[in-house]
Structure 1
Amino acid sequence: MNTRQIAPFIGMGVLMVAVQLISLSLTPLMLGAGYEAFEDPGSATNPLYFIVILLIFTGVLLWLIKRGKDFAIKAIIGFSILFIFGYIYSALFLFLLENTLAAWSLTIIATVISGALLYAYPEWYVIDILGVLISGGAAAIFGISLTIMPVLILLVLLAVYDAISVYRTKHMVDLAESVIEMKTPILVVVPKSRSYSYIKEGIGIKDKKEERGAYIMGMGDLIMPNILVVSSFAFLAGAPAIFGITLPTIGAMAGTIIGLAALLWFVSGGKPQAGLPLLNGGAIAGFILLCALTGSWGWIPGM
């Protein structure tokens, strides 16, 4: 492969690392603001609630797609995006300005501007910049809401679900195609050439007659493995650390990148691939390996 062919793969790696760094940076702010999504982060039932919510959300979107309710789909996704932006900006401004009118005013302004920009000008670089911020914020929210053991359970369940939904039922492929056709900004885009425009060209998954102009990755693939990165950073105390980040957390980060490299190798074949089996698997493997090397088993009950 030449430099032009390799560049998009490097770009995907850069986006993944950016999500990891943003999520880690937001973690103490989210914790300080009390933004945990679950009341008991250690409950083993939390992953089940997460999966049920995901299934309901996916089912509603597919139902709306079959009935051509594009506006409703955009409204649901848009509200979800604004909700996450609100969490991110409020955590940041409350940290900088405390619980003041200025903090909440800036939160509202930044949230509205970010959401409007995504929908008014969904070019690939706008989607990528704000998509990385959304993904980092979502990973931070869920990472502080689940301790390590529930996260591991969740990532395994999500990997199985992703594989089934892509390779067996294929409903996730249908959902992705519809989202792309509507240019809904819940993915990241890495172009293969400088002249590529997501607004003008879009991208098709099933079109085999013409080479795709860009690689895409759903935000879920950026968010899910990094939930473990955040959870291990937030809840694994006493493990050896480098620059304040524990080695098992670094292992989860590195494992995710290795899983991403494997995923991109398969994606280069031109067919849609389930990302979470490789991404979640890599994160879990890297985390467990560094736990073994450092003897950091405090997250296991009774150890």
Structure 2
Amino acid sequence: MKHDFKVTLFLIGLFLAAQMVGLVLLRVSLVESVDDQGNRVVSFDESKVGEVPEMSGLGFLLYVVIGISVGTALVLLLVRFRKANWWRAWFFLAVFVAINFALKTFLSPPVAFVLAFVLAVWKIYKPNVVVHNLTEVFMYAGIAVFLVPLLNSMQNESFIGIPGNIFWASLLLVLISVYDFIAVFKSKHMVSMAEFQTESKVFAGLLVQYKVKKDAVVDKVKGVVSRSISRSVSKNARKADIKAAPRLSKTDRKDLELPRIDLDERKTAILGGGDIAFPLIFIGTVMFHLANVVSISQAFLESAIIVATTTVALALLFIFAKKDKFYPAMPFISAGCFAGYFLVLLI
């Protein structure tokens, strides 16, 4: 298991919360109407999500891909020149805008604006585990609220039997999964960005810090910790190490056994923001498509199936991953999305 059980459970719970909060906000943004022919039509309430421009599937894909490419290039420049303060300023703006999008779905615009600003300031300048992860949940929900409606105009298209909006959302998942694999295992620039963000204490994604206790021996002669050893090492093995020091008398060796200290090694469990936002875009797109076929409430419930399968896929990654090693989460999460969508089709 990559992290301690409690930490893993907490991180998975945060991911699940982010997906459900985003799905709920997209759900409350949907409105029903009747067209001139008396047909039921479901669309996004522009008073909540803003004006939705007409966009082709390829246009949507290019919009997202170019945005990611430019953003990644800028972050890598900040990593290269160690400009942590510039990163904080940029991330502050991103947090503020995204949370504002999320809050506008159920609050008046002025209230959403002020609250988003307060949360962004709190997150950047007085961070703690609760504020950081709470704002991350709403931040990626806001990104989904902004992007999912852009796929609205492709609802009536079809590619190889797949509804147009779902086809393009699926293609986005595939491309992001391939990119994630390359960025983690090949170029490794994703690892560099994650380490830079963690060091600057402004990480774009879910983050939980925890401590792992390790036993250590204090060298009385040198007055420093001589070596760290696992708790699993037996007492006899420790004595054998001590006896191996020929320069010490028996009295010195006996004294050397007594002082033991606990060294707390700080660990960080993280899940990147893209690993939260992209599955939510796919799930929200599926819900919008279903809402035009069945009731909005039923569409919401069926889409929640994909949330469940995606969460299970992420949990399996955490369970079978090795400690202290980076993994691309998107291939696993995308597989969970597609598995869930297949189950929805069977209903």
TM-score range, shorter chain: 0.7 to 0.9
Which residue does the alignment assign to 1:97? Answer: none
Does residue 190 (structure 1) correspond to residue 190 (structure 2)? The answer is: no
Which residue does the alignment assign to 2:124? Answer: 119
Which residue does the alignment assign to 1:227? Answer: 281
Q: Per the alignment, in what secondary structure is the counterpart of residue 168 of structure 2?
A: helix
Structure 2: how far apart are the matches of 1:36 and 1:153?
Answer: 25
Moved more, 54-63 or 13-22: 13-22
Larger helix share, 1 or 2: 1
Q: Per the alignment, in what secondary structure is the counterpart of residue 207 of structure 2?
A: strand
Which residue does the alignment assign to 1:155? Answer: 173
Does residue 107 (structure 1) correspond to residue 112 (structure 2)? The answer is: yes
Structure 1: how far apart are the matches of 2:48 and 2:169?
Answer: 19
Check the 8 A contact 1:118/1:185 in 2, yes or no: no
The one-letter code matched in structure 1 to 2:24 is S
Offset of 1:247 from its aligned partner? 5.9
Q: Per the alignment, in what secondary structure is the counterpart of residue 91 of structure 1?
A: coil
Q: Residues 150 and 277 from structure 1, CA distance in 2 versus in 1: closer, same or farther, beyond 3 angstroms? A: same
Structure 1: how far apart are the matches of 2:295 and 2:326?
Answer: 37
Measured against aligned partners, the alpha-carbon deviations of 1:96-144 in whole angstroms (never above 9, x if no partner) come to xxxxxxx42x223202210111012211121111111112222232223
Structure 2: how far apart are the matches of 1:39 and 1:243?
Answer: 26
Q: Paired residue for 1:249, among 294, 297, 303?
A: 303
Check the 8 A contact 1:139/1:230 in 2, yes or no: yes
Which residue does the alignment assign to 2:58? Answer: 44
The one-letter code matched in structure 1 to 2:21 is I
Check the 8 A contact 1:233/1:246 in 2, yes or no: yes
Q: Residues 247 and 5 from structure 1, CA distance in 2 versus in 1: closer, same or farther, beyond 3 angstroms? A: same
Measured against aligned partners, the alpha-carbon deviations of 1:209-248 in whole angstroms (never above 9, x if no partner) come to 9855331111211111111111111222466679534565
Q: Paired residue for 1:71, among 69, 85, 94?
A: 85
Q: Paired residue for 1:59, among 73, 89, 96?
A: 73
Structure 2: how far apart are the matches of 1:190 and 1:71?
Answer: 22
Structure 1: how far apart are the matches of 2:302 and 2:62?
Answer: 25
Does residue 281 (structure 1) correspond to residue 281 (structure 2)? The answer is: no
The one-letter code matched in structure 2 to 1:52 is I
Offset of 1:48 from its aligned partner? 2.5
The one-letter code matched in structure 1 to 2:72 is T
Structure 2: how far apart are the matches of 1:59 and 1:7?
Answer: 35
Structure 2: how far apart are the matches of 1:252 and 1:265?
Answer: 20
Which residue does the alignment assign to 1:7? Answer: 6
Does residue 260 (structure 1) correspond to residue 274 (structure 2)? The answer is: no
Structure 2: how far apart are the matches of 1:212 and 1:194?
Answer: 6
The one-letter code matched in structure 2 to 1:112 is F
Q: Paired residue for 1:129, among 134, 141, 151?
A: 134
Which residue does the alignment assign to 1:143? Answer: 148
Structure 1: how far apart are the matches of 2:77 and 2:71?
Answer: 10
Q: Residues 212 and 225 from structure 1, CA distance in 2 versus in 1: closer, same or farther, beyond 3 angstroms? A: farther
* TM-score normalised by L of structure 2: 0.70
The one-letter code matched in structure 2 to 1:107 is A
Q: Per the alignment, in what secondary structure is the counterpart of residue 132 of structure 2?
A: helix
1:162-201 equivalences under 5 Å are 162-192=180-210
Larger strand share, 1 or 2: 2
The one-letter code matched in structure 2 to 1:190 is V
Does residue 91 (structure 1) correspond to residue 105 (structure 2)? The answer is: yes
Offset of 1:7 from its aligned partner? 1.6
The one-letter code matched in structure 2 to 1:138 is I
Measured against aligned partners, the alpha-carbon deviations of 1:181-213 in whole angstroms (never above 9, x if no partner) come to 101142212344699xxxxxxxxxxxxx98553
- Identity between Structure 1 and Structure 2 (%): 23
The one-letter code matched in structure 2 to 1:277 is P
Which residue does the alignment assign to 2:323? Answer: 269
Check the 8 A contact 1:24/1:140 in 2, yes or no: no
Structure 2: how far apart are the matches of 1:20 and 1:114?
Answer: 20
Structure 1: how far apart are the matches of 2:265 and 2:295?
Answer: 45
Structure 1: how far apart are the matches of 2:128 and 2:48?
Answer: 34
Check the 8 A contact 1:255/1:287 in 2, yes or no: no
Check the 8 A contact 1:144/1:230 in 2, yes or no: no
Equivalenced residue count is: 269
Check the 8 A contact 1:255/1:283 in 2, yes or no: yes
Structure 2: how far apart are the matches of 1:210 and 1:113?
Answer: 34
Structure 1: how far apart are the matches of 2:102 and 2:296?
Answer: 26
Check the 8 A contact 1:240/1:247 in 2, yes or no: no
Cα RMSD, aligned residues only: 2.8
